[in-house]
């Protein structure tokens, strides 16, 4: 089965249909981009996938598991992790932030380890080792014990990414991962996303306004406009699609979605 299957999802707000029977599937181990002009329904789509919004109709499946009406924390522990467009990190070190991610995997173990039960201390040490490994995967290995408040914006975005990876997801939802970054931070982020997809065998859903990044990273692209899916295909196919060009027409800056 696909890693993630979105079928005929409809979301309405008062009089507005934000998503109108939208469908797409994410092939395991690939990057699937969801793009479209401002107001197209991209964030609404992510909010459905992560359980923050319940659709009026339609379904979302992770492999063969039905996610449609589950709560956000259930969806996260089943293997769908997300990052947010605005940075959400806590104070403390990179290690502290990543261990918060691990904590979700082993709440009982962490409580026992606070009481210094030997088995639990061993388990916590294993979580710390895994967190350090994940920090290394996103290029934060040397900063593992650094306070997050001292890091650059680009580094903090990767702390957030690493914390999501600490949930050991099968599907990673990235909400504008390079928004607000400078050119070199963008290149770095693109490399990191490509690396983690390969080394962790992750499937990625990417909402992004930076078309350069979409072209570099995405295997498949779904294009939304006014809540409807207007195109789907490889980056090169959608870039030349007349419907897509029309949707972006009059959008002075397609990156300002
Ligand atoms: P995008 O992320 O593609 O810019 P959104 O998913 O944020 O688009 O929004 C799609 C449409 O749904 C917009 O018209 C937006 O105003 C509307 N919308 C989004 N969230 C809500 C909400 N919670 N209540 C009412 N309308 C909303
Ligand atoms: Mg928007
Ligand atoms: Mg949005």
Residues 6+ apart with CB under 8 A from 53: 11, 44, 47
Longest dimension (CA), the chain: 64
* Residue 109: per-residue pLDDT: 62
Average pLDDT for 143-172: 93
Q: Which residue in 200, 195, 240 sits closest to 221, CA to CA?
A: 240
18 lines ligand 1 (CB under 6 A): yes
Verify that 243 and 182 share a domain, yes or no: yes
pTM score above 0.80: yes
Straight-line distance from the first to the last Cα atom of the chain, in angstroms, rounded to the nearest whole number: 32
Average pLDDT for 63-78: 92
Verify that 188 and 229 share a domain, yes or no: yes
The alpha carbon of 35 and the centre of ligand 2 are apart by a number of angstroms equal to 10
**Interface TM-score (ipTM) > 0.95:** yes
251 lines ligand 1 (CB under 6 A): no
Identify the domain boundary among 167, 198, 225: 167
Angle between helices 183-200 and 118-137 (to 10 degrees): 130
Verify that 111 and 153 share a domain, yes or no: yes
Q: Which residue in 164, 217, 156, 160 sits closest to 185, CA to CA?
A: 156
Verify that 208 and 240 share a domain, yes or no: yes
The alpha carbon of 109 and the centre of ligand 3 are apart by a number of angstroms equal to 37
More confident of the two residues 145 and 209:
145
Residues 6+ apart with CB under 8 A from 140: 94, 155, 158, 159, 162
* Residue 257: per-residue pLDDT: 46
Task: Please state, in angstroms and rounded to a whole number, the distance separating the CA atoms of residues 208 and 191.
Answer: 15
Ligand having the closest approach to the CA of 36: 1
Which single residue is written with the structure tokens 């903090």? Answer: 156
Verify that 183 and 257 share a domain, yes or no: yes
Identify the domain boundary among 135, 167, 199: 167
- pLDDT tens figures, 3-36: 999 999 999 999 899 999 999 999 999 999 999 9
Verify that 102 and 162 share a domain, yes or no: yes
Mean pLDDT of the chain: 89
* Residue 77: per-residue pLDDT: 87
15 lines ligand 1 (CB under 6 A): no
The alpha carbon of 38 and the centre of ligand 3 are apart by a number of angstroms equal to 7
Total domains, the chain: 2
Distance of CA 110 to the CA centre of its chain: 26
Q: Is residue 256 part of a domain?
A: yes
Q: Is residue 84 part of a domain?
A: no
Verify that 162 and 176 share a domain, yes or no: no
Q: Is residue 86 part of a domain?
A: no
Tokens for 36, please give them. Answer: 């479209």
Verify that 71 and 173 share a domain, yes or no: yes
Domain that residue 114 falls in: 91-167
Q: Is residue 85 part of a domain?
A: no
CB 147 within 8 A of CB 91: yes
Verify that 98 and 178 share a domain, yes or no: no
* Residue 250: per-residue pLDDT: 61
> Is pLDDT at 111 greater than 90 in this prediction?
no
Ligand having the closest approach to the CA of 12: 1
Task: Please state, in angstroms and rounded to a whole number, the distance separating the CA atoms of residues 199 and 254.
Answer: 32
Identify the domain boundary among 116, 141, 167: 167
User: Which atom from ligand 1 is nearest to the alpha carbon of 53?
Assistant: 23
CB 217 within 8 A of CB 31: yes
DSSP 220: E
Closest Cα to atom 16 of ligand 1 = 39
**Environment of ion ligand 3 (residues, CB < 5 A):** 42-43
């Amino acid at each position: 089965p696909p890693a993630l299957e979105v079928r005929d999802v409809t979301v309405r707000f008062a009089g507005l249909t934000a998503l109108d029977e939208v469908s797409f599937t994410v092939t395991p181990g690939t990057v699937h981009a969801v793009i479209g002009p401002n107001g197209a329904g991209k964030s609404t789509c992510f909010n459905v996938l992560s359980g923050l919004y319940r659709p009026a109709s339609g379904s979302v499946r992770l492999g063969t598991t039905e996610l449609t009406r589950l709560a956000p924390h259930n969806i996260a522990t089943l293997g769908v992790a997300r990052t947010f467009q605005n940075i959400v990190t806590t104070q403390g070190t990179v290690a502290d932030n990543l261990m918060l991610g691990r904590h979700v995997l082993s709440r009982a173990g962490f409580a026992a380890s606070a009481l210094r039960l030997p088995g639990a201390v061993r388990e916590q040490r294993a979580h710390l080792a895994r967190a350090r490994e994940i920090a290394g995967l996103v290029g934060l290995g040397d900063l593992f014990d650094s306070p997050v408040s001292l890091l650059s914006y680009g580094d903090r975005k990767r702390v957030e990414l690493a914390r999501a990876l600490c949930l050991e997801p099968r599907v990673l939802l990235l909400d504008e991962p390079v928004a607000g970054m400078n050119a070199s931070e963008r290149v770095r982020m693109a490399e990191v996303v490509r690396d983690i997809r390969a080394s962790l065998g992750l499937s990625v859903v990417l909402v992004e306004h930076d078309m350069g990044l979409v072209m570099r990273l995405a295997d498949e692209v779904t294009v939304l406009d006014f809540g409807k899916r207007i195109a789907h295909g490889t980056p090169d196919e959608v870039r030349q699609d007349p419907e897509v060009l029309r949707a972006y027409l009059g959008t002075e800056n397609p990156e300002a979605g």
